[in-house]
Amino acid sequence: MIKNVLRPLLQMRSYWSLSTACKAELHYDRMGLPSQDPGIERVIHENVGWLCRAQDHSASHDDGVAHHFSLETGWSTSYPETTGCIVPTLLAYAKIRSDEEVRHRAKRMLDWLVSLQFSDGGFQGGMIGSQPVVPVTFNTGVVLLGLASGVREFGDYREAMRRAADWLVATQDPDGCWRKHPTPFAEPGDKTYETYLVCGLLEAARLEPGKPYADAALAAVRWALRSQHENGWFEKCCLSESLQPLTHTVGYILGGLLEAYRFTNDAALLQACRKTGDGLLTAIRHEGILPGRLDSNWRGAVPWVCLTGSSQIAHCWLTLYQLTGDARYRDAAYAANRYVRRTIKVEGPPETRGAVKGAFPVSGEYFPYQYPNWACKFSVDSNLLEKAVRGV
């Protein structure tokens, strides 16, 4: 409550210290969304172009993808976690477009990631240059998605994939939660959104069916479901503010549950997914606005939109539509994707063309005045799925 009261005062104080570029972008956003939707094809093309530039301009000068571009400080160093989940996105795009250059970029990312893997199989949290450099459960699970896609695409990376998945199995607690290797870059405590890492484990299980990867993934799902309310909302589902989680972290847990259902065809899991998907339907507003934080009654808790979360949830809704045929999910996803597309500039400087802001307006409290690489990745994923659902 105190934080909510102080927010306007803190924002007013911080405004005067902003760079000219930040003030200009905030002024642009305060004028409202452009009426024109650039369209699915154009946005996908520009998103992928920006991800390629984020690889080329990373401040750590490696083959990873820069964590973000900041209007204050420019390009950051590379971020292993999200470089890992960008790999399958680029491979999907490269396959559809027969784009060998993008495919090669994904391989360079994989080779770089393998060079960073700890001897025990884990991957570090944080950006390159962040301290401490320690293996982190969630980051390892997300990188595992990239390694599994590398096995499928290139017939390589199997050993690295096995080592990462084995490490996750070995470090899991008996109740299905992972507590031994939390990220040092978020508030301490159990995190139900880490259910998303089951996506990587289940991909590894498809490639190595004799390993206990699926058992570990489903144990994590069962643990998380104990925190689901009857209306679909989850406790402990945020990086910092568990009473009003980010749509980004809600998108993580719903994405993990949907993948668990796809793996098992367990009707109870689909019902759990629908509870959360239906709750989110009550939160979406006109023009596809989805508040960036939602309380336990699915009411918006902030006046800004977390664009990453909107793309993730749109993807989940489209998946639910494919599974159930319920047009409410499809229509909400179309609206949320359209909203995000309208925030994306498809002309202008290469640093921001095709990039996705952390929040709209750009001053929102999810990576303010920054363009995180995973926001762009989830935009590509959601627009590719919308394109497939529309049959265009």
Query: Which has the closest alpha carbon to 340: 389, 382, 295?
Result: 382
34 inside domain: no
Among 333, 345, 342, smallest CA distance to 46 is for 345
Domains identified in the chain, total number: 1
How far apart are alpha carbons 170 and 178 in whole angstroms? 10
33 domain residue, yes or no: no
14 domain residue, yes or no? no
Domain assignment of residue 36, yes or no: no
The mean pLDDT of 278-303, rounded to a whole number, is: 98
Q: Is residue 349 situated within a structural domain?
A: yes
Angle at 317 between CA 358 and CA 110, to 5 degrees: 55
Share of the chain above pLDDT 70, in %: 96
Domain holding 335: CATH number? 1.50.10.10
Q: Which domain holds residue 341?
A: 45-390
For residue 31, is it within any domain?
no
* Region 14-22 average pLDDT: 85
Task: Name the pLDDT band for 326 (thresholds 50, 70, 90).
Answer: very high
12, pLDDT greater than 80: no
| Residue 124: DSSP 8-state | B
pLDDT reported for residue 17? 80
Average pLDDT over residues 144-165: 98
User: Does residue 19 lie in a domain region?
Assistant: no
Helices (H), 265-325: 267-281, 307-324
The model carries a pTM of 0.95
Q: How confident is the model at residue 3 (pLDDT cuts 50, 70, 90)?
A: low
In sequence order, the β-bridge partners of residue 69 are 75, 371
Cβ(143)–Cβ(164) under 8 Å? Answer: yes
Q: Has residue 9 been placed in a domain?
A: no
Chain-centroid distance of CA 345 in Å reads: 20
